[in-house]
Chain A
Amino acid sequence: MSQTMLVQGNHACALGALAAGVRFFAGYPITPSTEIAEILAKELPKVGGKFIQMEDEIASMGAICGASLGGFKAITATSGPGFSLMQELIGYASLAEIPLVIVNVQRGGPSTGQPTSPSQSDVMQARWGSHGDRGVIALVPSSVQESYQLMIDAVNLAERFRTPVIFLMDEVVGHMREKLVIPKTTPTIINRRKPEPGELPYAPGPDGVPALPPFGEGYHFHVTGLIHDETGFPTGSPEVTEKTIKRLHQKLENNMDEILRYDELHSADAEYLIISYGCSARSAEEAVRMAREKGIKAGLLRLISIWPFPSDLIEEKCARVKKVFVAEMNYGQVTGEVTKVLGRSKVQPVLRVDTQMITPRQILEAITREGN
């Protein structure tokens, strides 16, 4: 039987992790993500899983890297300042190709910023926060229900593509309470592929993804944050370096059919299209309804997978619209990406950086101004 409950997004995220098979959590308390740690501290031992509160967020990342290499599905959860500290080892996990999920319940920044207020200002940090070139998957839920289901997807994608996945929540989605229905059907679970006999630990399959054996089964393989060849051992070779850096991008870019997630509302005949995500998309949805009542042909494209950036999708969906409004709670991070695709003249930002939610009226006014 399906189970219905009234819970916070953070709670739903933790339950999604458990449903996805996560059995290891390491983290450090930080508002507004702490409930995820608290719930998993309570729930993980009940299913034989492990929870540890580490000395900081750097250590938390190290611990989940170690646990993942031990064959466990492992995650951490944090907010802006902790996310900054994690960047070094997020890059490590990208290069060493360790499946992990990092939940970032965004608060306002920079620095300690606005710890208890919502923001969406870590979109670019999710992409570029760690040094060096690498591909990244980031998913953005905009409701409690989606925090559950998309978290399962996040864990699956990490295992599928042997990569860290950023689960980019925000304070509103993390802390608001909504109905969560846990379906009675068992979710589809993806487990990392184990190598065939003789298969090298860093030799990519045809899809660009290498297989990953767990420690303790006699594979005796080497994991390093140095650029390495297919054996896993470091090399200074320019050819191998280029091949590796390209593959870290292409294993994601070439499999966008598996990664791309989005939602749309009245987009088919829209003259004005709002692009939004996370909590802001909730206001955008209402703004579309209000605009339609006024006879304005507005629509919404809600981004769910935000990295790799869905440039092709945006190009396609915006081809026939007059104007695109990007509604987000930051200084224009996704606006910039959309502008790269569509050009400046077609894109109108609807931004907010004062810790207050973007309102449907604010978006509607922007559309109305344009329509007049």
Chain B
Amino acid sequence: MNETLKKYFRMNRLPHIWCPGCGNGIVVGALVRAIDKLGLNPDKTSIISGIGCSSRSSGYLNFDTVHTAHGRALTFATGLKLARPDLNVIVLTGDGDATAIGGNHFIHAARRNIDLTTIVFNNNIYGMTGGQYSPLTPTHSKATTSPYGHIENPFDITELAKASGASYVARGTTYHTLELINLIADAISHKGFSVVEAITACPISFGRQNKLGNAPAMMKWQKENTISVKAASKLPAEQLAGKVVIGELYRRQAPEYTAEYQKVIDRVTGGNGQ
């Protein structure tokens, strides 16, 4: 590991618990590089996670960290950020954590446009429990709970975030690491609810069941099946079928929740509120 990045990790908590070939470490690597790039004060930065493989990240990171209950990371983060707008609050969550059990919290945090940065590690599966389908498992895929092929439709996390009111939405992959760092940095810098969907391979619990090959093969899939926002904008819709668009997908300036609440305090106290 790059020596300058070690300060962001609780080195005595490593090695991590993730399986060989898991992409979660790449996403966490991108996060700390983004934090480093922005020069965030680690004392004023909190990392909040849910439950699942990716949510174990919070324990490895050297900040004030909360490993909350399944699906509830955004609720803790909302309370912390509203109480303490001076803190940078970053939420690490998985696809099941964020959009199944935590789906209601996800859309409401987006609706409030509260200044949280949410990184959704999307590995298309429940990894920690051994490969059950999530709301991001593609139709027809196999999971231990869809042994005959999955019959449900997946969410598009970025569309869900955008429709719910998020003011910064991006998608990256563990193959496109440098871009992922930049997307996360932009998301943290953005004032408002920002979502980065990070596509990450789960060779053990998802790849094996679906014969997707080993970790490098799954990363190669990310390379071959994604298209940048810029390139996609030049193509007709029919040529985009089956392609995953990556990059900054949406950004708008909108009133941010904690700032609006401060205005309420200022209004009712005549500017004497804390």
Contact = CB atoms under 8 A, between A and B. Distances in A.
Q: How large is the interface on B (under 10, 10 to 19, 20 to 34, 35 or more residues)?
A: 35 or more
Interface string A19-31: 0000110100000
Contacts of A72: 83-84
Nearest to B45: A216
Given A54-B78, A59-B78, A233 B13 contact: yes
Per DSSP, chain A at the interface is: mixed
Interface in B204-227: none
Contacts, number: 139
B67 A62 contact: no
Contacts of B77: 66
Interface in A27-74: 45-48, 50, 52, 54-56, 58-72, 74
Contacts of A54: 75, 78, 108
Interface in A194-228: 215-226
B43 A216 contact: yes
B64 A224 contact: no
B79 A222 contact: no
Contact of A46 (B59, B82, B268): B268
B62 interface: yes
Contacts of A24: 79, 82-83
B233 to A, nearest CB: 35
A226 B59 CA distance: 11
A115 B104 CA distance: 25
A221 B79 contact: no
A286 interface: no
A269 B3 CA distance: 76
A116 B231 CA distance: 60
A216 B81 CA distance: 11
A88 B101 CA distance: 13
Contacts of B66: 66, 69, 222-224
B84 A52 contact: no
A89 interface: yes
Contacts of A222: 10, 58-59, 65-67
Nearest to A215: B64
B100 interface: no
A234 interface: yes
B26 interface: no
A226 B69 CA distance: 9
Contacts of B58: 222
A62 B78 contact: yes
Interface string B61-73: 0111111110010
Contacts of A46: 268-269, 273
Contact of B75 (A23, A66, A220, A226): A66
A115 to B, nearest CB: 22
A62 B46 contact: no
Nearest to A213: B64
Given A92-B69, A215-B46, A67 B265 contact: no
A219 B62 CA distance: 10
Contacts of B63: 220
6 contacts: A58-B75, A62-B75, A62-B105, A70-B84, A72-B83, A220-B65
Closest 5 CB pairs of A and B: A62-B75, A66-B79, A63-B79, A48-B274, A66-B80
Interface of B: 10, 13, 42-44, 46, 48, 58-59, 62-69, 72, 74-84, 86-87, 104-105, 108, 261, 264-265, 268-269, 273-274
Interface of A: 23-24, 26, 45-48, 50, 52, 54-56, 58-72, 74, 88-89, 92, 215-226, 233-234
